[in-house]
A and B are shown apart, each in its own frame.
Chain A
Amino acid sequence: MNDPETAGAGSLSRRTFLKGLGTSAVAAVAAQTTAVAAELEKVNAEKIVGPGPVPVTLNVNGRKLKLQLEPRVTLLDALRNYSSLTGAKEGCDRAACGACTVLLDDTPIYSCQKLAVEAQGREITTVEGLAKGDKLSKVQQAFIEKDALQCGYCTPGFLISVTALLKQNPHPTADEVKHACAGNLCRCGTHPHILQAVFEAAGVKATSKTEVIHV
């Protein structure tokens, strides 16, 4: 249970379970009565947040972002519309296109499916955080050199997915790259160049097979 996501989900379901029990049912479990009652008291004492705006602090690209947000505001909404970080894009708002992908610690997630309040205390990296000052990351540089973008709207999402992949797996196979990018859609059809760019960023020379015949 080291994964904070799993731990969070576990404690939530226990709390829900406890809340769902009637008092008499809880009392019937004689051996644990005291412990359970104490926990119930703790749960009931928790302050319900919302529905109005609450203070939220997000760690984005190494900086603290202090915002007042309704708890139902997603991380994507918070970034794009409550700060000037519009790099992560909205393409579908329902976890289907990947344009909103950001890193939560080292894991790429769809920021449209994460409430901003839930992302507190984690390191969030958006496309704006990939370069160090003016120095582009290897992945960004490779995307430029291989022209792995056309309209560029899906590009922030792909860059984040690829960055996460190469951090975990610096020398991926083509299938591993495809798996890592399976959650990102591109309508311009830039995929072959994205594949080339990932290899280039991984230090493998990727040359175009395109032939120009001068007529």
Chain B
Amino acid sequence: MSSWPAETKYISHPTLRVDAVPKVTGRARYSSDTQANGWLYGMILRSKWPAAKILSVNLDKARQIPGIKAAVVARDGTFTVRFYGEEIAAVAGSTRQACLDALRAIEVKAEPRNEFAVNENEARKDDAPRVWEGRSNVAPGRSREHGNVDQAFGECAAIIEGFYTTPVQIHNPMETHGNTVSWTDEGVTAWSSTQGISSVRDGLAGALQLDQSKVRVITDFMGGGFGAKFGAGAEGALAAQLSREAKAPVRLMLTRFDQALAVGNRPSSFQRIKIGAKADGTLHAFEAENYGTAGIGAGADSGGGGGGADIPMPYLYPVPNSRVKQSHVAINAGSARAFRAPGNPPASYGMESAMDDLAVKLGMDPLEFRLKNDPNEVRQREYAIGAEKFDWKAKYQKPGSSSGPVKTGIGCAGAAWPAGGPSRSTQGEAQINPDGSVEFRLGVQDIGTGTKTVIAVVAAEMLGLKPEQITVKVGDTNFPPGPGSGGSTTCASVSPTVYDICQRGLQQLQKQTGIADARGKNWLAACKKLGVTPLVVHGNWIEGLSNRPAYGVQFAEVAVDTETGLVTVKKVVAVHDCGLIIDTLTLESQINGGVIMGMGYALYEERVMDDLSGVVLNPNFETYKLPGIADVPEIEIVLLNMPERGVIGIGEPATVPTAAAIGNAVANAIGVRVGSLPITPSKVLAALGKVPPAAIT
């Protein structure tokens, strides 16, 4: 079986991002920067009703607006819309302004339904308006029972019951979803802001009834996805139809508003947890009921990254007796999609909150309580390392015991990400030129995680070259196929593939040139001997070089102003493992990013629906708050490099435990639990009894 070299020059060292120069000079062409010859703008008209029957859509007046070249309906005939923001029609024109005018000129005849449900707690009632006709809004998810739960609770020395809720979170990548699509007689080319070029190709081919070979998808640079950008989406198919009608390329990028309404979110969760332990602190019984909403989408399972409302329960800690009931609630809102570590951050928040509450009841230090119950050896080690770095023992005080109006507190939580392993069908190729230059081509995409850099680092290591000598091309369905960038799988997929390409390349070079070892100082001589014909070698993912899963633990320190309710995160210590580290620099960036996104989930982010009008009240950044640079705490990272495990992805585990650790730190600071994310000042003040609690949110 193959193995990674023991001594490395680039692998596990810091390497500068290979595509940083185009990114800092503005030369990087993102999907939204595409200026195909003769391109037009595209825009979508969306439903202003949360539920309505669309009787007719008249595009005549829109077509008469000067500059408008095409207009299409989202669906033919009469159709039903089920959320505010659902697609109704789309236009393409030579200026943005013409499109805006045209959207206003579209005449829609509709029968709005006065009854709709946008609040999962209302929607799950028996008499709630139905999102889907003739079908209950509530669908059962997984139900499981192990052991004898009722008897086990009777054997517990301490039991707590808690209600922990998490909001719908919106992905909000800085670049919105969208494509430039050119449909000609030869076929379709799409420049897509996507995490999965292959899935966009297949989706477009299916929607347009074209051979997959007639569709090419290109993603040179894209501005983030976080799970929301797989597949062509309605906007991709509409752009293609507009392009066909206008006989010109159409750039249809969603607005920030569109993005908040229609292209994905993390489902909410409402977790009622009862958990008990024996006197020595061993977990013994667990019972939970959870429901959440994935919008109109009724998917239940989020285990594989689907974006459903179910979550893994009980999370992390094995409990011998457990009973879990889950259900998901349809509401009149845009469907959920996979969101960075689907299911895991809400599960972590619920379970780790309950763990701390139980530790308090048992009179145990919550870290000791975790070490007692977490069987995972890697996390055990990470807790030990992190506790020392964080100075847990010196900092830990009994809940609510810090003095003064601004109270400090600490908390911790563990992470798991069961995926993170490779896609075994990953392929790639390299073209080795007689002048010594070499180009790697893989049909994956770099969503900002540094995939191009990973390819360059591995190739440089294996060929004895420098990363800057490697040309990396990704993001094109004309290249050998690779996986979509989801589930933290890309790094573990491409690294062994590049290894294999290099091994085959070196073997072939030896065969063709007679030079036994073409690496490093012999590289140029060997390439020259190729004569005039470049060598193209194909490689595949191979066994033994990648792995799963990844773990991780995080510690948080907060200050809570008990007069204003404001929570400030002072420090986070993040201890993570991902097998063999490829690039410590880009890895550090990803962990920072996971922590900061988790912090947004903990304190700021929440999609707010208006019960009366059915609209999303905060579909933009001035009302949907992301963490800014002034909110970001000191983040200290410890990386465990475990080469013998092979390469594992890190994108998801880094964001899993942050909100739970912050929530626990807040509870430790003020001595009461805020059982609902985001932990806003009003919820803190309500938990302290200083203001009346809001109705269930």
Contacts and interface: CB of A to CB of B under 8 A. Distances in A.
Interface stretch (A17-25, A29-37, A139-147, A165-173): A139-147
Interface stretch (B69-77, B494-502, B637-645): B637-645
Nearest to B599: A189
B425 interface: no
A159 B172 CA distance: 21
A140 B627 CA distance: 24
A91 B16 CA distance: 26
B256 interface: yes
B29 interface: yes
Contacts of B622: 94, 96
B96 interface: yes
A144 B21 contact: yes
B630 interface: yes
Interface-centre pick from A145, A156, A210 (highest chain B CB count, 10 A):
A210
Interface string B17-40: 101110111111110110100000
Contact of B594 (A184, A189, A209): A189
A136 B592 CA distance: 26
B28 A152 contact: yes
A64 to B, nearest CB: 19
B174 A93 contact: no
Contacts of A40: none
Nearest to A188: B593
Given A136-B24, A155-B23, A195-B629, A92 B635 contact: no
Interface string B630-669: 1010011111111100000000000000000000000000
B138 interface: no
A145 B630 contact: no
Contacts of B221: 151-152
Contacts, number: 210
B162 to A, nearest CB: 29
B589 A159 contact: no
Nearest to A179: B630
B198 to A, nearest CB: 20
Interface string A173-194: 0000111011011111111111
Interface stretch (A7-15, A41-49, A82-90): A82-90
B169 to A, nearest CB: 12
Given A128-B25, A144-B20, A150-B593, A212 B641 contact: yes
B628 A185 contact: yes
Nearest to B447: A151
Interface string B576-617: 010001001110111011111100000000000000000000
Contacts of B97: 70, 72-73
Interface of B: 12, 16-17, 19-21, 23-30, 32-33, 35, 41, 95-97, 172-176, 221-224, 226, 253, 255-256, 381, 385, 389, 447-450, 577, 581, 584-586, 588-590, 592-597, 620-622, 626-630, 632, 635-643
5 contacts: A84-B35, A144-B20, A153-B173, A184-B629, A215-B577
Interface of A: 70, 72-73, 77, 80-81, 84-94, 96-97, 99, 126-128, 130-131, 136, 140, 143-145, 147, 149-156, 159, 177-179, 181-182, 184-195, 208-215
A-B pairs, 10 with minimum CB distance: A87-B26, A151-B448, A153-B223, A189-B593, A189-B596, A152-B23, A86-B33, A96-B621, A127-B26, A150-B448
